[in-house]
């Protein structure tokens, strides 16, 4: 079901509560070191301001666990936004209460206010209904553009939307729904999923569900060793998830039943220690007991790039190796390059794969880079995202 977008709302002179994802990295001096999340919200912010909204921006930052902390204040973000927008941003040090209310009452059409970190309130993550109601009373309209937290039912992402007849998504969520929706419902075949990273538990459900839609799954990263172990290979000292061997087995069974191909590494870049200084070598098939696999090897890269080059749709989540260390980054970067050169619809989701694509300067050649790792995985798994479900349906 399509959701209302900001263009469906009459925002002129209205107080608009816009939930954004300004969860940006800060350095020791509390300066924003990467403003891409702020920039990602700009189209929605600019549209609302240009159309005369009285804009109330609300976000979380980090994990303050329901307590106020100077180090996680959004004040530096207000300064950064002010510079980017070249416009005065009013900062409200509280969210509920007379100070916040007065700040809102003083807004004129086209003005913009940023509230303090919403996660300073324990009620936020508890999705407390009174807190949601209090937040809703601050505004006339609700817009959600925080895709990165759309899979969480929190007061400012889900609870609040219940108190508005017309709540809409911003441009960022709309774009995510367009691309991820295409992958979930009508992907052009052959569709291939490239899944890496270390946490089997986080990804196994996604792979199992994706098997209904994809032709091929390319597995890399630390999780590949749990898969190889299930197939009886020796994986040496490689990272292993003993607790989820049964889930991996059921996934293999489903793939077999559906006649889908799960591709696994056939060679590995190995070292004795999890350390860039540890001497590296390449081994095929079984990994010696004293070694650990830290990247996919050259034959695996070649195999994977063949599948990538003939795919029409590709989804990528998770690095192929320990790409943070120079000796173990080739697999991830070669796959990123393969995606960038393919003619397929390419969608990259998940913090580390997005970081790798950006580090390789290839972001511009992907069809879509998702702003939400967990949210994009849950969406593709077919799970409803509470922050989006709560918005009003179109038509």
- Minimum CB distance to ligand AMP smaller for 18 or for 204: 204
Angle between helices 373-380 and 171-185 (to 10 degrees): 40
- Minimum CB distance to ligand AMP smaller for 170 or for 331: 331
Residue 322 in contact with ligand AMP, rule: CB under 6 A: yes
Region near ligand AMP per CB under 6 A, out of 82-90, 185-193, 317-325, 387-395: 317-325
Angle between helices 245-258 and 200-210 (to 10 degrees): 10
CA dist 91 and 116 (Å) reads 7
Residues 179-238 that bind ligand AMP (CB under 6 A): 197-199, 202, 221-222
Q: Are 295 and 197 in contact (CB under 8 A)?
A: no
Choose among 177, 210, 175: nearest CA to 194. 210
Residue 170 in contact with ligand AMP, rule: CB under 6 A: no
- Minimum CB distance to ligand AMP smaller for 120 or for 316: 316
- Residue 336 tokens read as 């990123």
- Minimum CB distance to ligand AMP smaller for 324 or for 381: 324
Region near ligand AMP per CB under 6 A, out of 28-36, 185-193, 318-326, 375-383: 318-326
Q: Which residue is nearest to ligand AMP (CB)?
A: 197
Choose among 283, 329, 288, 338: nearest CA to 310. 338
Q: Is 314 helix (H, G, I), strand (E, B) or coil?
A: strand
306 is catalytic: no
Locus of tokens 């173990």: 328
- Minimum CB distance to ligand AMP smaller for 74 or for 195: 195
236 is catalytic: no
Site string for ligand AMP, 13-52 (x = CB under 6 A): ----------------------------------------
351 is catalytic: yes
Region near ligand AMP per CB under 6 A, out of 105-113, 280-288, 319-327, 374-382: 319-327
- Write down the catalytic residue from 14, 351, 363, 383: 351
CA distances from 121 to 49, 96, 234, 273, 297 (A): 27, 10, 49, 43, 48
Consecutive H or E run containing 92: strand 90-92
Which residues lie across from 19 on neighbouring strands? 58, 144
- The only residue of 113, 294, 308, 311 in contact with ligand AMP, by rule CB under 6 A: 294
- Residue 318 tokens read as 């998770």
374 is catalytic: yes
* Shortest CB 394 distance to ligand AMP, Å: 34
Locus of tokens 């609300």: 58
CA dist 172 and 324 (Å) reads 28
Residues that bind ligand AMP (CB under 6 A): 197-199, 202, 221-222, 239, 293-294, 318-319, 321-322, 324, 350, 352
């Amino acid at each position: 079901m399509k959701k209302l977008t900001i263009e469906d709302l009459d925002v002129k002179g209205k107080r608009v509560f816009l939930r954004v994802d300004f969860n940006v990295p800060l350095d020791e001096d509390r300066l924003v070191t990467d403003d891409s999340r702020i920039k990602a919200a700009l189209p929605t912010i600019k549209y609302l301001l240009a159309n005369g909204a009285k804009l109330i921006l609300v976000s979380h930052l980090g994990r303050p666990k329901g307590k106020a902390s100077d180090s996680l204040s959004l004040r530096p973000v207000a300064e950064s936004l002010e510079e980017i927008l070249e416009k005065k941003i009013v900062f409200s040090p509280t969210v509920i209460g007379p100070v916040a209310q007065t700040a809102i009452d003083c807004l004129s059409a086209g003005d913009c206010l940023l509230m303090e970190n919403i996660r300073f309130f324990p009620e936020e993550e508890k999705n407390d209904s009174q807190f949601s109601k209090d937040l809703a009373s601050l505004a006339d309209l609700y817009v959600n553009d925080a895709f990165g937290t759309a899979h969480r039912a929190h007061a400012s992402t889900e609870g609040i939307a219940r108190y508005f007849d017309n709540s809409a998504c911003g441009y960022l969520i709309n774009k995510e729904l367009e691309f991820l929706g295409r992958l979930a419902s009508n992907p052009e075949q052959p569709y291939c999923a490239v899944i890496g990273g270390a946490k089997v538990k986080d990804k196994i459900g996604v792979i199992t569900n994706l098997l209904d839609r994809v032709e091929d799954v390319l597995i890399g990263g630390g999780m590949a060793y749990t898969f190889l172990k299930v197939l009886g290979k020796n994986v040496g000292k490689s990272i292993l998830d003993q607790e989820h061997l049964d889930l991996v087995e059921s996934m293999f069974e489903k793939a077999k039943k559906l006649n889908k191909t799960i591709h696994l590494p056939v060679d590995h870049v190995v070292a004795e220690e999890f350390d860039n200084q540890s001497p590296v070598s390449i081994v095929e098939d079984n990994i010696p007991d004293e070694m650990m696999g830290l990247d996919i090897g050259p034959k695996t890269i070649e195999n994977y790039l063949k599948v990538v080059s003939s795919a029409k749709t590709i989804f990528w989540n998770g690095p192929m190796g320990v790409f943070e260390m120079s000796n173990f980054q080739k697999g991830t970067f070669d796959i990123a390059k393969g995606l960038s050169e393919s003619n397929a619809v390419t969608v990259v989701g998940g913090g580390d794969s997005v970081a790798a694509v950006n580090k390789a300067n290839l972001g511009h050649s992907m069809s879509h880079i998702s702003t939400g790792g967990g949210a994009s995985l849950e969406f593709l798994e077919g799970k409803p995202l509470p922050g989006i479900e709560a918005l009003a349906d179109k038509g």
